[in-house]
Amino acid sequence: KSMFPNIFSFLSKILYKNFLNIIAKHYKYCDEGYTLFEDSCYLFESDFYKSWHEAKQYCISHGGNLASVHNQQTVGFLAGLVFVFVAHTARASWVGLNDIEEEGNYVWSDGSPNDFLVTWAPGQPDNWQDDEDCIQLYGADNNSPGYFNDQNCNTAYPFICKKGK
């Protein structure tokens, strides 16, 4: 098995992150490591994985929350960056959508309105084993790009933080 795809993936990730940091510093819209899209700054944390609750706390401690999505353009943007940043077989990342309080009643962890109908991956949400209350977004190279999936909140995944610019 060739190691070139892994090296290429690693190098492209580094180059892309450096490019985003240069743009962010030049325009000073977002903190270092965050990417501006529309009116929000996004952090794609793929260097270490966390449970949904740990990821939420991490985002809050950095002045934001897990990402909320309110239009299809943002879904496409996030799914593309999940593809670039996440070297994970599922190519998925935590976002703030969840039904922890009431099964089937999905809310965003940042308290923003659930005003956008997300597109679920085929067969989802399924609340498998009555134990999937937190939502992840599939990346662009998954077989369901830009689709959402419910997952056990204690499973460690990369995650996406969002905050104002």
What would the pLDDT profile of 79-115 be if each residue is shown by its tens digit?
887 777 666 556 789 999 999 999 999 999 999 999 9
Residue 83: per-residue pLDDT = 74
Q: What integer is the mean pLDDT of 20-49?
A: 80
Domain span including residue 9: 4-164
Count of the separate structural domains present in the chain: 1
CATH number at residue 159: 3.10.100.10
The pTM of this model reads 0.80
Q: Chain-wide mean pLDDT for the chain?
A: 84
Residues above pLDDT 90, as percent of the chain: 56
C-alpha to C-alpha distance for 57 and 142, rounded to whole angstroms: 27
More reliable by pLDDT, 158 or 11? 158
Residue 3: per-residue pLDDT = 46
More reliable by pLDDT, 52 or 24? 52
Concatenating the DSSP letter of every residue in 30-83 gives: S-TT-EEETTEEEEEEEEEEE-HHHHHHHHHHTT-EE----SHHHHHHHHHHHH
HSE, CB side, 13 Å, CA atoms: give it for residue 61.
6
85, 91, 72, 104: which is closest to 46 by C-alpha? 85
3-class secondary-structure state, position 91: coil
Residue 117: per-residue pLDDT = 87
CB 79 within 8 A of CB 140: yes
